[in-house]
Amino acid sequence: MPRIVTIQFTAAGKLYDFNAGDLDIAPRDKVIVETEKGLGIASVVGAPVERPVEDAAGLLSIKRIATPEDISLLEQNSRKEKEAYAFCNRRIMERNMQMKLVRVEYLFDGSKAIFYFTADGRVDFRDLVKDLAHTFHTRIEMRQIGVRDESKMVGGIGICGRELCCCSWLRDFQPVSVKMAKEQNLALNPNKISGQCGRLLCCLDYEYETYCCLRKTLPKCGKRVRTESVAGVVDKMNILTGTITLKLDDGKLVTVKKGEVVGEAAAADVPPQRSEAASGGRGQQKGRDRRTERPAAAPVQREEQKPAAAAAPAEGAAQPAETQPKQGRKKRSRKHGHRKPGGGGAPSDGSTPNRKP
């Protein structure tokens, strides 16, 4: 059966499976492997494991175990990376480019140098690439990364006092939302729930499911519950300790354990007459308001329409001069273009009827 070994190229990086073949490999050994970019040096994570042939299909084989010459070449590449970082950073400042250089990585065989940077938008770095290629005489690749990847490369100490999870053991980033902080009763202060990268802390996801399970066993805030001795409304609760703070009718706060809660408060614990009268009065008042508002809308509309109807002059009555052309146009719009015989509208010759002095 083929022997499969798991390796990683960087600390807390992605894991890859390779065929170990007949090589005697132990954890933390340096090995030379073939990658899409060329030869690379990686670290062995675990001891080789025998697996079925189907699992080993399509896996690349490890070339060899790293020799002292390979280790010295790796150190030379590390020195080149520092020089390239300093040179590129100077060029960025001289050109006043809106980008931040994070890291420079040389491939194991030195055939390419990868420059990782962060920027808010797109950056035109064509002139910068020409300067780098002319200076280092190798292929140059500029790769833009996110702020989380930047923290993973740079590293640092978190607010917990320990090394950042992303650069120590966390291999993949998980989606984090503000809902996780609310579920754990954390203060929604960006300075307290954000990491070095400015994004939400990755550790908010670690205990989220536990908090969700524990919260199901506790009553919700604002719910009225009772114990054997008191009854009140849930003001706040501590999910980890399982304690509940009740606000009594007289305003006092009492802390009880979730095991002491018997159930919801009975209807007798709430003053029934007062609440019913208040709610009934409010309901009746709302009903009256609706009944008074609905009829009131129709008279207003009729009142608005009455002046419009009254404004129309009676048959044979005098009209202002400016209304006569409109009335004439209205009569000419009848079927077949004939005027109604005997109509009492304005005279067809446009003259104004005699007015009384």
pLDDT tens digits for 177-206?
Answer: 999 999 998 989 999 999 999 999 999 999
Contact by Cβ (8 Å): 275, 239: no
CATH class entry, domain 73-145: alpha beta
Give the residue range(s) of CATH 3.30.300.20 domains in the chain. Answer: 73-145
Place of tokens 């640092």: 156
Task: Give the contacts of 231 (CB within 8 A, at least 6 positions apart).
Answer: 224, 225, 246, 248, 249, 265, 266, 269
Residue 346: DSSP 8-state: S
pLDDT tops 80 at residue 275: no
CATH topology of domain 218-269: SH3 type barrels. (2.30.30)
Q: Which amino acid is at 51?
A: R
pLDDT band at 2 (very low <50, low <70, confident <90, very high): confident
Q: What is the mean pLDDT of residues 127-150?
A: 94
Rounded to the nearest integer, the mean pLDDT of the chain is: 80
Give the residue range(s) of CATH 2.30.30.140 domains in the chain. Answer: 218-269
Q: Look up the pTM and report it.
A: 0.66
